[in-house]
Amino acid sequence: MTDYSRPLESDRDHVWRHLTDYRGPLGPMIVEASGLRVRDARGREYLDATSGGVWCVNVGYGRAEIAQAVYDQLVKMPYFSPTAGNVPAALLAEKLSSHEPSLTRAYYSSSGSEANEKAFKIARLLSSARGNGKERVLYRDRDYHGTTIGALSAAGQGERRSGFGPFAPGFVEAPAVNCYRCPFGKRYPDCSLDCARAVGALLEREEGKVGAAIFETVVAGGGIIVPPPEYWPEVAGLVRAADALLILDEVVTGVGRTGEMFAFQRYGIRPDIVTLAKGLASAYMPISVTWVAERVFEAFRDEAGSEPDGALEDKLHYFRDISTFGGSAAAPAAALACLRIIEEENLLSNVRKQGELLLAGLKETLSHPWVGDARGVGLLCGVEFVADKKTRAPLPEERVVAVAAAMASKGVLVGRTNRSMRGFNNIINFAPAYIATKEDVETIVRVFNEALREAL
């Protein structure tokens, strides 16, 4: 067995890990991985039901074909400024549009936070060019769009925001879509879709000042919340009627996580902008895309110089933005290889098949006294824990932590809401890679049941 004592010491003494409270013990150092299994520096092996901890290693570990594609491109031409083009970037943009022809232009950067920042900047710059004062951005409670100050300004998760203010002005919050905890105290389907109607009411209240509305198509970190089927057509229509851009954050759900290539395709809607990251290259390289409809792209060309006094100067009327590593050629090469695997191995079908099995197994735990809800779509599922099934009072976070810890001790890694929503960090999430087998899913469900008995 390899001796990892020196890297463990270096990690302890020199690395500042993400989302880590150093007043407690450190988590593992992962040193090897293959398929759905990872091994830590102490030699312990785990079934990873988180796709890399944050829902991104979607085609599994050890994909030599992705590594080879990256290597080949690095040797041939690794990088040039994104003011120039490169071959993999061009081919990836074309490939994405083949899966959704209504979106035609890919703007590259390195993370989901950046991708959403670009979307906000596009909306703001269009408002400035048109001189119409539509500078505000609507977002939704429980949704999360990234870690920068701009992205946190649109975060519907109080603990994510806490202490990082003041935030950027011009962001307004709409109520959550959350049938288990309806903000209006109603029950679906006898609710008149008040959560959708509230978006329309807020757009009216803002008196034409909202230029864009951003939402997670399926809520991920805010609790694995799948909107009812009527929600998205209603909201998309309201946003369009307000002459605002509809931005869908598919950083988690895009590229197959829900069993469709893109989650919004389940609802028959056409957004103006979609943001992609995490699983786009299955985390083999950092890459994100702000993906826009042609009408948005053309607005920066067709409307130049045509606006009234007070609008943006004509010489500034183009998208004056750059992300250094948006010029990587190896990152889109990795994404192309990842998409090829998804297509050739028919992994979307497997996501649907194993996702149904996973959700069915989780729903069987609803008889447990502390399990309030089990929900999800594709290989993105969550279980919400409650102290009282009648009142739905959330189970204290430390008890949910105990369940996740018990699963890890038995060799299965799961995720959970973590310092996100005060009082509601009570959800464990399950998001294994798209290559998960029936046996993998059965192991996850079995270990979850064992952890419930032991930890609660």
DSSP state of 214: E
Q: What confidence category does residue 221 fall into, taking pLDDT thresholds of 50, 70 and 90?
A: very high
Query: What is residue 312's predicted lDDT score, i.e. its pLDDT?
Result: 56
Which token pair is 88? 């993999």
| Burial class of residue 185, CB neighbours in 10 A (0-12, 13-18, 19+) | exposed
Name the band, by pLDDT with cuts 50, 70 and 90, for residue 123.
very high
Residues in the chain: 456
Instruction: Give the span between the Cα atoms of 182 and 176, in whole angstroms.
Output: 8
Residue 308: predicted pLDDT: 44
pLDDT, tens digit, 9 for 90 and up, residues 183-214? 999 999 999 999 999 999 999 999 999 999 99
pLDDT value of position 313: 63
**Among all chains, which residue has been given the structure tokens 């060799």?**
411
DSSP H or E segment with residue 138: strand 136-140
In the chain, the amino acid numbered 367 is S
Range from 1-5, 54-58, 362-366 carrying the lowest mean pLDDT:
1-5
Q: β-strands 105-109, 393-394: how paired?
A: unpaired
Residue pLDDT, tens place only, 291-332: 999 999 999 887 544 444 445 567 778 899 999 999 999 999
| Per-residue confidence (pLDDT) for residue 309, from 0 to 100 | 45
> Which CATH code for domain 66-344?
3.40.640.10
Amino acid at 187: R
Residues 333/70, Cβ–Cβ less than 8 Å: yes
pLDDT of residue 306: 47
Among 450, 394, 384, which Cα is nearest to 422's?
Answer: 394
Q: State the Cα–Cα distance between residues 29 and 8, nearest whole angstrom.
A: 7
pLDDT, one tens digit per residue, over 387-446 is 999 999 999 999 999 999 999 999 999 999 988 899 999 999 999 999 999 999 999 999
* pLDDT for the residue 259: 98
By the 10 Å C-beta count (0-12 exposed, 13-18 middle, 19+ buried), 327 is classed as buried
Q: What is the pLDDT of residue 1?
A: 81
Give the strand pairing for 273-276 and 245-249: parallel
Q: Is the pLDDT of residue 151 over 90?
A: yes
pLDDT at 419: 86
For residue 418, what pLDDT is reported? 87
Percent of the chain with pLDDT over 70: 98
Superfamily of segment(s) 5-59+346-455: Aspartate Aminotransferase, domain 1 (3.90.1150.10)
Residues 9-56 have pLDDT tens digits of 999 999 999 999 999 999 999 999 999 999 999 999 999 999 999 999
Residues 362/384, Cβ–Cβ less than 8 Å: no
Domain boundaries, the chain: 5-59+346-455, 66-344
Burial status of residue 321 (CB atoms within 10 A of its CB: 0-12, 13-18, 19 or more): middle
**Strands 415-416 and 427-430, bridge-based pairing:** antiparallel
Strand 136-140 and strand 371-377: pairing?
Answer: unpaired
